[in-house]
Amino acid sequence: MDLQLSGKVAVVTGASQGIGLAVTRTLLAEGARVVAASRRRSPELDALEGDLLHVPADLMDPEEPGRVVARAVAEFGGLDILVNNAGGPPPGVDLPRFSFMAPTDDDWREMFEFNLFSAVRAMRAAIPPMLARGGGAIVNVSTGGARLPAPMNVDYNAAKAGLTNLAKAVSEEYAPQGIRVNTVSPGPVRTAWWTKSGGAADIIAAATGSDRDDVLTKVAPEMMALSTGRLVEPQEIADVVVLLASPRSASTTGADFAVDGGFLKQV
């Protein structure tokens, strides 16, 4: 299926690995021109082929989201797509945390800066150039935890719940002007958050008396009641993100798509 993305200009945040890398790869394969924002490059990002520009950015800095968008407009002449993918543990933080009492005030501030406010700033910067081109598409990557609150990662889930709410509000304001805003809510995804040394697999293994391989293949899917019995792959998220960014989804806005292996059970 032709997604009608050839020549479109996209900004993807958190693009050097995981979901963001998969989204960037998929957009390039569809002929889009992509500005990939991340704190550092990666060999996997450098290996991608296509019309790609990496912009180093620390999205904890309030000025950086706007600078990334401005760079896309300057290099490619406008903006059609924004994928707010950057999120998860702020730099230097490992998750999960298991209790409401665990995060400090500073932890809460950093979590909201990274997972909500950076997206607010990116959307604020992206909307004017999208309006100048007659419309565009914004896709925010949230989490199933935004709709299924739990004591584990309470600060992260609260920040992402704000992001999910924000997308619906902005979609309502700008849909008449041609800008669609949607949310993709993953379950646990096999990314560095889980697999890196000291990451979620190791933390849960220590808490449950398991080993990290069992956590990734059995303990975590059972703990999160995943109907598929496995973690989600980044490409499975990317496929939905890119479809939502495409003109083929022209009547889809204000929606939240769960790509979570059956984590959310609610109707």
Q: Are the beta carbons of 34 and 8 closer than 8 angstroms? A: no
Task: Kindly tell me the sign of the dihedral angle through the C-alpha atoms of 11, 43, 259, 31.
Answer: positive
Q: Are the beta carbons of 173 and 131 closer than 8 angstroms? A: no
CA 49/CA 109 separation, integer angstroms:
37
Q: Which tens digits make up the pLDDT trace of 72-112? A: 999 999 999 999 999 999 999 989 999 999 999 999 999 99
CA 248/CA 103 separation, integer angstroms:
42
Q: Are the beta carbons of 35 and 68 closer than 8 angstroms? A: yes
CA 40/CA 165 separation, integer angstroms:
30
Alpha-helical segments (H) within 77-117:
105-112
Centre a 10 Å sphere on the Cβ of residue 24 and count the other Cβ atoms it contains.
31
Taking residues 4-9, report their average pLDDT.
Answer: 98
How open is the CA angle 24-124-115, to the nearest 5 degrees?
Answer: 60
Measuring CA to CA, which residue among 7, 3, 59 is closest to residue 34?
7
3-state secondary structure of 111: helix
Positions marked catalytic: 156
**What residues have CB less than 8 Å from 6, skipping those under 6 apart?**
30, 31, 32
User: Against a cut of 0.95, is the pTM above it?
Assistant: yes
Structural domains of the chain, with CATH: 9-189+233-259 (3.40.50.720), 190-231 (no CATH)
Q: Give the pLDDT score at 1.
A: 86
In one-letter notation, the amino acid at residue 137 is: A
In one-letter notation, the amino acid at residue 19 is: I
What is the Cα Rg of the chain in Å?
18
Which one-letter DSSP state was computed for residue 177?
G
At 59, the pLDDT band (50, 70, 90 cuts) reads: very high
Q: Give the pLDDT score at 267.
A: 82
Say which residue the tokens 């059970």 belong to: 265
CA 54/CA 43 separation, integer angstroms:
12
Q: Which tens digits make up the pLDDT trace of 144-198? A: 999 998 899 999 999 999 999 999 999 999 999 999 999 999 999 999 999 999 9
* Cα-Cα end-to-end distance for the chain: 30
Q: Which tens digits make up the pLDDT trace of 226-262? A: 999 999 999 999 999 999 999 999 999 999 999 999 9
Strand partners, 13: 37
CA 107/CA 113 separation, integer angstroms:
10
CA 182/CA 164 separation, integer angstroms:
9
